Chains A and B, each alone.
Chain A
């Protein structure tokens, strides 16, 4: 958020807020820990608003559910902003003191009348207005989102549209207010924090900033490393397609199943000169690899830290020895360095962490001892007397405002790339379920009474008009490919909307259908919006 890549609030604040908007997030199933805090907030009296094309189990808890059409988030957010401005509920003082770009933004949203928003989103105008005013009037309000916002070709614009709402109403930088992307794993936040993103060094320091580069180079004994930012995942696949990227080292990721347009992804990975996969399981990607490095699990088999959605760095400890042959990630990387001619020694996890603290100012105060004592610390924590930071951007409320003011961004509605047509009339959106995780690498090994395998979920009404029965195997096709999949009727879906997960790539390769239309700024593909058709499979003659 405005220069810091993390949610602004703490979990504790979720319990004391007055209103949640969970936008493009089925947190009830996909972020159950965070949702416990949400439920506490709800029990303490908070209102809950869910924005989601599907009426999810999160939406069942909500006071109001806005069932938008897939990919119409910006139209909704801009129309809400317009309503707030017209009702005189914009926080003028905050806007004046702590933000920039308001004039351009307000001109932009002026075009998003309720009528237009209703046409774009499908949501009745009065419901949009009600939610807008409720958010504006709430003393404390929090917007949380997940992949429903970010798995779009215009993901960053979607996020900016939500940030605009918070800036407009002064709902950031205060206790109980905030903007929170919920993270899907215990350490997604930590991965970004540690520099596992193309343009950043640990602590979100700009790789292309000469001062930053100089600082790291000095610490690393004058080592040479790139001065320009690298490729993000989608760009890597583009580079593979162009033949520029010939060797890939994959750590803890399963792109052969998790990438949109899977047929293409597998073809590109298979065509590499050299593919190394380091993982705790022999994933489908590992099966394509030239070299597989078995790794110890990050949980229970390794020492180190993880960082959760509220920016809290927490210790993890080894309780088990990894199985024979599996080695700690640090161990593998140092050994690899050794073979490449660099002696990095055999540092402990704490020594690696201390090096990180010496280079990343926002982690500087987090010694292992303090992480133990304080049961984790929320960044930034610049020195060892600092308790950590419960919520970000309190600076915006200082007089005068500290640091750079927060910018509004005028963003326009831009519908999903994969247009609906007579040939592909059904909107397929993908997502996740409570009992499974992503491509099932980590969850496939245990059974769950809730897990029913992959299916194409459609409304009973669509089933009827397509002439298919509940449970019947059908052929689902997009402009990229076809899969055969069982249909399951799901009344929480409206006619014209279908849903699949990517949990069971071995049963159904959902990502054969999805489009790799990617947001150039975030590198994320538009998993949330494909256009498909559903055909009955002609009865075949028994073999």
Chain B
């Protein structure tokens, strides 16, 4: 496999970390010691390469144990998995979470993203600045990793989290998220039983009738997606739960996973049943250690209770916003750089490992439970005609009570802000960023917009991931725009030119304009809009296509330059 080793040998500790995951090396050719048979025969090839998808788990194992990924460790991992080291290094360097240089025993990641900036975040000495950690309800937030034999990652705590809602959030805070018995007492697994009773077609029919649209940001009809996967002739079918929630200002899936993990697992079981998936993956972003633990625990419990008819593997992201894009996520699970693929073919036909794949966001899946229980029509009775059901909104920024709020679709934005306690006394509203960095700004004049897919579309905005970041008159919007531009420049995967170059140029021009430095402002505005169009029209994936939205709306709607 073109394995040209150049680094030193792996340490015993590093080898133990890799072997702990893969089992001991069975031959010299796999990186073990020479046995007599190794002189004259070796097996490998496809069998060895078929474990490529374990590269990220192996890299995590190395880093958890030692705090970084040394060349020697990487080359040992490559030998074990039959991967060219140059290619594996390309994977290591792709993900922000993997350190190719040594670090101390403890790493503190301090969020310096929009919301935490509003809360006055300062990166402490020795800490590493990080994009949104999904802890916006407790800004400014940190994540502390302690490497070694017993790796641990701890999110900064929240004394009194606010999770307000009666449907999706009805169990949140009421039950012990580590007790399957508790989940049963709160009506757990009734939907799964019901699904088994009515059969796959009826489940999909109910979804279609419910007119549920995906909650990850793209708002695709869930029923249609399930139907396509169910009908796809190729086998096996894969189920992927997208829990790589990385949109700045978004933390809804984290709350569901941390506080109601059994519901997520039950919904995955229903999805697999209805679409004939043989295997499931749960891709949880690296910044959610508690959510991952709870989900892993829940899967094990449900499995032990005999309620899971298929296998679910939990995969840990490694710090890449782009992996929230479904095809980038597939590549990441497969052990590659998280670069999006061209579509078509769509995942329902050619997805994970090239097979038909159902990929749904956590919130989308949890909606399925109620749809199966009460029927599609009853579900559709809530919300508006085109946007059915309720929606989780992550309200953060300059409101009195940041938190997760579940409201019926169509609720006016003003009402949501009021539910979150409104602005602090004496402050006035300056703007709302709806949908995170990939969303757009709402002006005070637009604050009565109904929070539905069609309502936001009518004013050129989007619900996106459900992030609602509120800015009062004290917020420095120039800073915010710059942070957004920096975010996209950082997170662009670099695969396609419009996005790789566009996000960089966008940041440069914005910096120049906002700092009021020399330059022809009119020409810069035109240039920004040209770049925006190129990114929108020619980028492979949604990242590049939306990377100019918030900045454009900030400049035109909020007139940030004029302020």
Binding site for B on A (CB under 8 A): 28, 42, 47-48, 55, 57, 59-68, 121-124, 127, 450, 461, 491, 494-495
The answer on a CB contact under 8 Å between B40 and A60 is no
A63 touches B40 (CB 8 A): no
Residues of B contacting A127 in the complex (Cβ-Cβ under 8 angstroms): 40-41
Chain B, residues 1-13, CB within 8 Å of chain A (1/0): the string is: 1111000000000
A495 to B294, CA, bound (A): 52
**Given A28-B2, A55-B29, A491-B28, do A60 and B44 touch, yes or no (CB 8 Å)?**
yes
Give, as a whole number of angstroms, the nearest-CB distance from B38 to chain A.
8
Tell me, in angstroms, the Cα distance from A331 to B489 when the chains sit together.
60
Min Cβ gap B492→A in Å is: 29
The minimal Cβ–Cβ distance linking A234 to chain B, given in whole angstroms, is 32
Q: How far is the CA of A168 from the CA of B42 in the complex (A)?
A: 26
Which of chain A's residues has its CB closest to B28's CB?
Answer: A491
Q: CA–CA, A373 to B37, complex, Å?
A: 53
Residue contact B39 to A63, C-beta cutoff 8 Å: no
Taking the closest CB of chain A, its distance from the CB of B9, in whole angstroms, is 11
Q: When chains A and B are docked, how far (Å) is the Cα of A42 from the Cα of B42? A: 18
Q: Is there contact, CB below 8 Å, between A123 and B82?
A: no
In the assembly, what is the distance between CA of A468 and CA of B18, in Å?
A: 32
Could you list 17 A-B pairs, sorted by A, with CB under 8 Å?
A42-B45, A47-B46, A55-B42, A57-B1, A60-B1, A60-B2, A60-B3, A61-B1, A61-B45, A62-B44, A64-B43, A65-B41, A65-B44, A67-B40, A67-B42, A123-B41, A494-B39
A22: min CB distance to chain B, Å: 12
B526 close to A (CB within 8 Å): no
Q: A55-B29, A127-B41 are in contact. Are A63 and B47 (CB under 8 A)?
A: yes
Chain B 44-70 interface 0/1 with A at a Cβ cutoff of 8 Å (1 = within)? 111100000000000000000000000
Q: Report the Cα distance A86→B323, complex, angstroms.
A: 54
* Set of chain A residues within 8 Å of B41, measured between Cβ atoms: 64-67, 123-124, 127
Q: In the complex, A414→B149 CA distance in Å?
A: 57
Q: Name the contact of A68 in the complex, choosing from B40, B43, B46 (C-beta under 8 A).
A: B40
Q: How far is the CA of A60 from the CA of B47 in the complex (A)?
A: 12
Closest 4 pairs between A and B when the two form their complex, measured CB to CB: A63-B45, A494-B39, A65-B42, A67-B40
Question: Is the C-beta of B235 less than 8 angstroms from some C-beta in chain A?
Answer: no
Q: How many residues of B contact A (CB 8 A)?
A: 19
Q: Is B194 on the interface with A (CB-CB < 8 A)? A: no
Q: With contacts A127-B40, A494-B38, A494-B40 known, what are 5 further pairs, Cβ within 8 A?
A: A42-B45, A60-B82, A62-B45, A66-B40, A122-B39
Cα of A461 to Cα of B28 in the assembled complex, Å: 13
Give the complex CA separation of A124 and B47 in angstroms: 20
Q: Determine how close the nearest CB of chain B comes to the CB of A28; give it in whole angstroms.
A: 7
Residue B34 CB within 8 A of the other chain: yes
For the complex formed, measure the closest distance between the CB of A434 and the CB atoms of chain B, giving whole angstroms.
Answer: 9
A124 to B42: give the CA distance in the assembly, Å: 11
Q: What's the nearest-Cβ distance from chain A to residue B85, in Å?
A: 12
Which of chain A's residues have a CB closer than 8 A to the CB of B40? 66-68, 121-124, 127, 494
Complex interface: chain B residues within 8 A of A491 (CB):
28, 34
Which chain A positions have C-beta within 8 A of B1? 57, 60-61
Chain B residue with minimal CB distance to A65? B42
* A131 CB to nearest B CB, Å: 10
Chain B residues lying within 8 Å of A64, measured Cβ to Cβ, are 41-43, 45
Residue with the highest number of chain A CB atoms closer than 10 Å, among B34, B37, B45, B47: B45
A65 to B44, CA, bound (A): 8
Q: Say how far A171's CB is from chain B's closest CB, in angstroms.
A: 20
Bound Cα distance A127, B42 (Å): 9
Cα of A65 to Cα of B43 in the assembled complex, Å = 6
Q: Is the CB of A63 within 8 A of B43?
A: yes
List residues of B (442-476) whose CB comes within 8 Å of A's CBs: none
Q: Which of B29, B34, B37, B42 has the most CB of A within 10 A?
A: B42
Q: Which residues on the B side are within 8 Å of A124 (C-beta)?
A: 37, 40-41
* A461 to B82 alpha-carbon distance, docked (Å): 24
- Chain A residues with CB under 8 Å of B45's CB are 42, 47-48, 61-64
CA distance A81 to B525 in the complex (A): 76
Residues in chain A near residue B47, CB distance under 8 A: 63
CB-based contact B2/A63 at 8 Å: no
- Nearest CB of B to A381, in Å: 37
What's the least CB distance linking A69 to chain B, in Å?
Answer: 8
Interface string of B67-83 (1 = CB under 8 A from A): 00000000000000010
- Which residue from A59, A63, A67, A495 sits with its C-beta under 8 Å from B46? A63
Q: When chains A and B are docked, how far (Å) is the Cα of A388 from the Cα of B266?
A: 62
Q: Which residues of B contact A66 (CB under 8 A)?
A: 40-41
- In the assembled complex, the Cα of A62 lies from the Cα of B43 at a distance in Å of 8
- Give the shortest distance, in Å, between B122 (CB) and chain A (any CB): 45
Smallest CB gap from A28: residue in B: B2
CA distance A66 to B39 in the complex (A): 9
Which of chain B's residues have a CB closer than 8 A to the CB of A61? 1, 45
Chain A residues near B28: list those with CB within 8 A: 491
Residues of the A chain whose Cβ atoms lie less than 8 Å from the Cβ of B2: 28, 57, 60
A123, closest chain B residue (CB):
B40
Cα-based distance from A48 to B37 in the complex (angstroms): 20
List, in ascending order, chain B residues with CB within 8 A of A48's CB: 45
Q: Which A residue's beta carbon lies closest to that of B3?
A: A60
Measured between alpha carbons, how far is A28 from B45 in the docked complex, in Å? Answer: 14
A57, A63, A122, A461, most chain B CB atoms within 10 A = A63
What is the minimal beta-carbon distance from B344 to any residue of chain A, in angstroms? 21
Contact A495 B44 (CB under 8 A): no
B7 to chain A, nearest CB (A): 15
**Chain B: which residue is nearest A124 at the CB level?**
B41
CB distance from A30 to the nearest CB of B (A): 14
- Cα of A42 to Cα of B1 in the assembled complex, Å: 13
Q: How far is the CA of A65 from the CA of B45 in the complex (A)?
A: 9
Contacts of A57 in B (CB 8 A): 1-3
The CB with the most chain B CB atoms within 10 A, among A55, A59, A122, A127, is that of A55
- In the complex, the answer to whether B42 meets A461 with C-beta atoms within 8 Å is no
The answer for the CA separation of A67 and B36 in the assembled complex, in Å, is: 12
Question: Chain A residues near B43 (CB, 8 Å)?
Answer: 63-65
A121-B29 Cα distance, complex, nearest whole Å: 20
In whole angstroms, what is the CA distance A60 to B2 when docked?
A: 7
B49 to chain A, nearest CB (A): 9
Docked pose: A62 CA to B1 CA in angstroms: 9
Report the Cα distance A42→B50, complex, angstroms: 13
Contacts of A60 in B (CB 8 A): 1-3, 29, 44, 82
Nearest CB in chain A: distance from B37 CB, A:
6
Specify the chain B residue showing the minimal Cβ separation from A121.
B40
Residue of B nearest to A461 (CB): B34
**Residue contact B44 to A63, C-beta cutoff 8 Å:** yes
Q: In the bound complex, what is the Cα–Cα distance between A253 and B539 (angstroms)? A: 53
Give the residues in chain B near A495, CB-CB below 8 Å.
39
Which residues of chain B in 14-45 are interfacial with respect to chain A, using CB atoms and an 8 Å cutoff?
Answer: 28-29, 34, 37-45
A495 and B28 CA atoms in complex are apart in Å by: 13
Instruction: Determine how close the nearest CB of chain A comes to the CB of B399; give it in whole angstroms.
Output: 54
Q: Min CB distance, A431 to chain B, in Å?
A: 17
> Min CB distance, B416 to chain A, in Å?
51
Instruction: Given A60-B2, A61-B1, answer yes or no on A67-B39 (Cβ-Cβ < 8 Å).
Output: yes
